[in-house]
Amino acid sequence: MTTAASALSDISRFDGFLYAPVRDEANGNPLTVLSFLARLNLDPWDEAARLNQLSREAAAADLATRVAALPEGPAGPIDAQAVAARLAALLPGRTTAASDAGSALPRATPSPRTGDAQRLAARRRTVIYAVVVAVLLAGEWLLVR
């Protein structure tokens, strides 16, 4: 059984990437990767897990395409390649030994999209349900008192 702490640590390993600024918005606030991906109707954690399975170069190329499609911000156009390379470097990545071994051997595991991303989504739902139940129980307890 997965504990809430381990589920949160799996989700939070992408925090450095998801909360990194892409650019500044017109109101002066930074546009984070999390907001950027959400605006594209993508689940930020699933997308971070998917990008994390790619090589740094492939992740940067994927991000550069999306960053280049952003409407121009208040500071003018941004260098999509540079921003994407900076963001891809923030992904936690896989260890070098695991990457080398994975490239030499055929993969017998499900694809990252169906495997890791689904597990992360299930853990996230479990944590959310646990928090909702705890809040409801606390509210019930307060009403009884």
What are the sequence ranges of the domains in the chain?
Answer: 4-144
Q: Average pLDDT in the 128-145 region?
A: 88
Classify residue 37 by burial, with Cβ atoms within 10 Å: 0-12, 13-18, 19+: buried
- Residue 116: band (very low, low, confident or very high) from pLDDT cuts 50, 70, 90: low
Q: Average pLDDT in the 91-109 region?
A: 48
Q: Average pLDDT in the 55-83 region?
A: 87
Task: Determine contact, residues 66/41, Cβ cutoff 8 Å.
Answer: no
Span between the terminal Cα atoms of the chain, in Å: 33
Q: Rounded to an integer, what distance in angstroms lies between the CA atom of residue 76 and that of residue 53?
A: 32
- SS3 of residue 105 by DSSP: coil
Q: What are the contacts of 27-32 at 24+ separation with CB within 8 A?
A: 31/73
Q: Rounded to an integer, what distance in angstroms lies between the CA atom of residue 112 and that of residue 110?
A: 6
- Residue 95: band (very low, low, confident or very high) from pLDDT cuts 50, 70, 90: very low
